[in-house]
Chain A
Amino acid sequence: MHLPPWFWLAAVVLISWGIVGLLQKLSTNHISAESSLIWLVVGFFLLQPLLYPGQALWTYSARSLTWALLSGVFNALGAWALFAAMRSGGKASIVSPFTALYPLVVVLIAPLLLHESISLLQGLGVVCALTAVVLLST
Chain B
Amino acid sequence: MSTLAILKVKWFWYSILCVLSWGAWALLSKIGSNEIPAPTMQFIFTFGTLPVALALLVGRRFQLEKSPQGIFYAVANGVLSGIGGLAFFAAFRTGGNTSVITAATSLYPIITVALAVTILRERLTWLQIAGLGFAAAAFIIFSF
Contacts and interface: CB of A to CB of B under 8 A. Distances in A.
Contacts of A129: 103-104, 106-107, 134-135, 138
B91 A75 contact: no
A124 B139 CA distance: 11
Contact of A15 (B57, B97, B111): B111
Contact of B60 (A34, A65, A126): A34
Nearest to B75: A43
A77 B31 CA distance: 19
A19 B95 CA distance: 26
B112 interface: yes
B27 A98 contact: no
Given A14-B107, A65-B44, A74 B80 contact: no
B118 to A, nearest CB: 10
A20 B87 CA distance: 14
B119 interface: yes
B19 A101 contact: yes
A31 B77 contact: no
B77 A10 contact: no
Contacts of B45: 68-69, 71-72, 75
A125 B103 contact: yes
A71 B53 contact: no
Give the interface SS of chain A, mostly helix, strand, loop or mixed: helix
Contacts of B112: 18-22, 136
A132 B101 CA distance: 15
A126 B103 contact: yes
B84 A13 contact: yes
Interface string B101-122: 1111111111111111001100
A74 B39 CA distance: 19
A77 B17 contact: yes
Contacts of B37: 53
B44 to A, nearest CB: 4
A18 B46 contact: no
Contacts of B128: 135-136, 138
A14 B65 contact: no
Interface in B25-75: 25-32, 34-37, 39-53, 55-57, 59-60, 64-65, 67, 69-71, 73-75
Q: Which 4 A-B residue pairs are closest in the complex by CB-CB distance?
A: A43-B78, A72-B48, A18-B111, A105-B23
20 contacts: A13-B84, A13-B105, A22-B115, A27-B70, A31-B67, A35-B74, A39-B74, A40-B81, A44-B81, A60-B35, A64-B31, A67-B32, A74-B21, A75-B21, A102-B18, A118-B99, A118-B100, A133-B106, A136-B112, A138-B127
